């Protein structure tokens, strides 16, 4: 009887610890980052020929950690509520594309930088996780991820680099474009940017 209870206790402790380990925002970010790094450094995925496949895998890993709709809504700010459901869907896709491509460019330039996971602050269903990227020249780039808990997953809705928020940056730009030339013009600009990037990718 005692041994059975002891074994059950040990079993529960292990199970709860492992599931608790993967529940922290810091650990979930580490999981995603490790996955992306392994795709980048995998010899079977190297080379220009494998570029598209590599990008697809990285994109999939990023999709699981980033809440694109939340980011798009925050970036569009006061103009979000005026959009129709179709416009909202279209905008989320365009914004996701814009960010994923920018992110992809930076990721593909990875050349062995060290990633240091610093502290994290959890406040209910909100969290902030600090990460440092240490370059080969020992330059430190501080990154702060802001996450919201949705179910068991912590999803990123903003990134601050050197104290500058990505969402705030786009919010200011989008706001000024919309006020100057309208929402349709913003969509046009985003679509133009996308086709430009697609052409670049096709060439490489």
Distances (CA, A) of 32 to 8, 102, 151: 32, 17, 17
The binding track of 11-50 with respect to other proteins, each residue x by CB under 8 A or -, is ----------------------------------------
Question: Hey, which residues between 138 and 157 contact other proteins (CB under 8 A)?
Answer: 138-140, 146
Q: Nearest CA to 131 among 118, 121, 122?
A: 118
With respect to other proteins, which residue has the nearer C-beta, 1 or 78?
A: 78
Question: Hey, which residues between 65 and 84 contact other proteins (CB under 8 A)?
Answer: 73-81
Decide if 39 contacts 45 (C-beta within 8 A). yes
With respect to other proteins, which residue has the nearer C-beta, 5 or 139?
A: 139
3-state secondary structure of 111: coil
The residue count for binding other proteins (CB under 8 A) is 26
Q: Closest separation between CB of residue 168 and other proteins, Å?
A: 5
Q: Nearest CA to 35 among 63, 58, 18, 64?
A: 58
Q: Nearest CA to 66 among 150, 4, 7, 134?
A: 150
Which stretch, 17-25, 52-60, 132-140, 187-195, contacts other proteins (CB under 8 A)? 132-140
125 near other proteins, rule: CB under 8 A: no
Q: Closest separation between CB of residue 139 and other proteins, Å?
A: 6
199 near other proteins, rule: CB under 8 A: no
Residue given tokens 């990023």 in the structure block: 62
How far is residue 104's CA from residue 59's CA, in Å, rounded to a whole number?
A: 8
How far is residue 96's CA from residue 118's CA, in Å, rounded to a whole number?
A: 27
With respect to other proteins, which residue has the nearer C-beta, 78 or 202?
A: 78
Positions that interact with other proteins (CB under 8 A): 73-81, 126, 137-140, 146, 158, 160, 162-165, 167-168, 171-172, 175
């Amino acid at each position: 009887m005692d041994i059975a209870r002891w074994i059950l206790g040990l079993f529960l402790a292990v199970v709860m610890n492992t599931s608790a380990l993967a529940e922290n925002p810091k650990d979930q970010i580490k999981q995603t980052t490790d996955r992306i790094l392994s795709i980048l450094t995998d010899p079977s995925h190297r080379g220009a020929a494998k570029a598209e496949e590599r990008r697809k895998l990285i994109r999939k890993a990023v999709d699981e950690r980033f809440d694109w709709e939340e980011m798009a809504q925050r970036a569009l700010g006061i103009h979000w509520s005026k959009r129709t459901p179709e416009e909202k869907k279209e905008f989320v896709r365009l914004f996701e594309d814009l960010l994923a491509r920018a992110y992809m460019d930076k990721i593909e330039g990875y050349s062995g930088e060290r990633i240091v996971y610093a502290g994290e602050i959890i406040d209910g269903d909100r969290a902030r996780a600090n990460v440092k990227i240490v370059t080969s020249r020992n330059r430190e780039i501080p990154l702060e991820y802001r996450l919201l808990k949705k179910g068991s997953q912590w999803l990123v809705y903003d990134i601050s680099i050197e104290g500058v928020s990505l969402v705030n940056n786009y919010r200011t730009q989008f706001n000024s474009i919309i006020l100057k030339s309208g929402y349709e013009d913003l969509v046009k600009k985003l679509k133009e940017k996308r086709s430009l990037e697609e052409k670049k990718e096709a060439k490489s």
